[in-house]
Amino acid sequence: MNARERILAAMAWEEPDQVPWTIYDALSIGGAAEREMRDMGLCMIRRCAAHQTEHCQVEFDQVEYEESGRRLSRHIIRTPVGEVSCVQAAGGWPMEHYIKRSEDYAVMEFVWRDAIHRDNYQAIREAQEALGDEGLVIVRVGKGPLLEILYGMMGLERFSIDLYERPELIDSLYDLMVQRYDEFYDLAAESPAEILQAADNITADVVGLERYRRYCMPLYERHMRRLVGTGKRLVVHMDGLLRSLIGAIGESCFDVLEAFTPAPMGDVTVREARQAWSDKALWLNFPGSVHIQKDEAIADQTRQLIEEAGDKRGFAIGITEDIPPDHWARSMRVIGRTIREVG
């Protein structure tokens, strides 16, 4: 089997010749080290959107500036009903979010109503051709509406306050986004890619059981209905602490739990996950803290993950977080060698 066939087989609960081993291609250091890992079976994962978005009455602007020695950028959205902005450091999460006042909700709703979505299939085909048999292109639909509001528009503090004091504003924006997400999933369902990613970054200590049940679970079921008959699989990116969501995740309707991070960084083991979520494939994130340990510890961790999985079907080891550059080649070499030996 080649790398692409291996991961597709495992996620379809078929029998791969060895445990699949993957990495988001943006996290690779490239060069000879990457070439060595590809030769060992590493599958490059490239995430592409199945949609492109245009706007009729919304303008976007960006201003770069320096403050206290840091390079920052202010992203500005102008609409007929008002203006909002956020501030980001290079490559980082927002330091200042779009929604700061109640009036800002109307601006964000206008942005979502104004959007026109069309397919991005040519970019997907070009990426598939570039990766060939050594990689897989998956459709990154993006974070679900609740998570996009929380992470991308508001931040945890404002979200928590408004969820308590003004829940009708959050629900109105959420309901509108749900309707527009149907277009994303319709385009994804017709795309050339085999796997779709809901990039929700679920962690229980932020999302919470009540909100997971109310806002996330119904969306997964809604999306899965749109994929019936397409042969495509829905993976949900859940890379955080998940113990308090174990039961709810088991009840959820999706195919693959992706970026699942087991102990020592996560709070659920692979063995527990296999028992609790027996109908869902596990596509792991190898625990990031282990990459800096000695070779023996990295090998032991890899063996443990494979042993606890118990079966190559419905299982893969992935890299979905940064590896310190000075440990990248060494850690990846140990993981790849151990998978070949025992996986």
Q: What is the pLDDT of residues 197-215, one digit of tens each?
A: 999 999 999 999 999 999 9
pLDDT at 70 over 90: no
- Which tens digit of pLDDT belongs to each residue from 184-201? 999 999 999 999 999 999
- Rounded Cα–Cα distance for residues 124 and 135 (Å): 12
Q: What is the pLDDT of residue 68?
A: 84
Residue 99 lies in a domain: no
Q: Which two tokens mark 109?
A: 């709703």
- Rounded Cα–Cα distance for residues 76 and 87 (Å): 9
- Which tens digit of pLDDT belongs to each residue from 261-291? 998 999 999 999 999 999 999 999 999 999 9
Residue 79 lies in a domain: no
Residues constituting the chain: 343
Q: What is the pLDDT of residue 92?
A: 75
Q: Which two tokens mark 219?
A: 């969306």
Residue 113 lies in a domain: no
Q: How many CB atoms lie within 10 A of CB 322?
A: 12
- Rounded Cα–Cα distance for residues 112 and 67 (Å): 31
Q: Which domain holds residue 213?
A: 3-50+120-342
Residue 70 lies in a domain: no
The model carries a pTM of: 0.94
Q: How many domains does the chain have?
A: 1
Mean of per-residue pLDDT scores for the chain: 96
- Going by the DSSP 8-state scheme, the letter that residue 57 receives in this structure is S
Residue 175 lies in a domain: yes
What are the φ/ψ torsions at residue 162 (nearest 5 degrees)?
A: -70, -35
Residue 338 lies in a domain: yes
Mean pLDDT over 56-64 rounds to 96
Q: What is the pLDDT of residue 90?
A: 78
Q: What is the pLDDT of residue 152?
A: 92
Q: Which two tokens mark 302?
A: 């890899």
pLDDT at 230 over 90: yes
The CATH number of the domain holding residue 159 is: 3.20.20.210
Residue 229 lies in a domain: yes
Residue 16 lies in a domain: yes
- Rounded Cα–Cα distance for residues 275 and 261 (Å): 16
